[in-house]
Amino acid sequence: MSKAGSGMFATALDELGAVLARTDEARIDAACAMLAGAGRIAVYGCGREALQVKGFAMRLYHLGLPASVVGDMTTPPLGQGDVFLASSGPGETTTVLTLMRVARDAGAKVLLLTAEPTGSAAKLADFTLVIPAQTMASDQGAARSSVLPMGSLFEGALFLLFEIMVLRLQALTNATPEAMRARHTNME
């Protein structure tokens, strides 16, 4: 890798570390407690955020938690005692806002992951976990803060945050590595 390439790599890693260092650990713990206590969990995100959210749903399943991805045919209805986890970095994603209203109307709690604590989505959420990272809403002009393009910093931070949440949920649920591995699909 060229010096310029390795410099950008180091910068990107520093940026990811800085985002996670500014993410409130007490709120991460509270979000994990919400998920651990849910009757059912349904997750949703748009675009590349959806990829991270789907990976997290898989790990929730490995932990033994009743998780599904909105849009899959096997997603059950949500209601009282359930949690809808939505990711909307910019906080204004129309589909997310609509699904948040559907979940709330059904009696489920809404857990939002966003970079925009004052956005429309945050106003609808029961609980908001702020990930202070550049998104598509802040990737141009003076607001631009990352060497990474568009919303990549937020999406990368989601991946790392979700892995930390899995470790915390593993402790909360007493899920052993062996039990998690036993739930991994054999259909690959």
- Active site members: 155
CB atoms within 10 A of CB 25: 11
Q: Edge to edge, what strands does the sheet with 109-114 contain?
A: 67-69, 41-45, 83-87, 109-114, 127-130
Q: Do the Cβ atoms of 143 and 4 come closer than 8 Å? A: no
C-alpha closest to that of 93 among 28, 34, 139, 48:
48
C-alpha closest to that of 165 among 87, 74, 78:
87
* Pair of tokens at residue 34: 């919400």
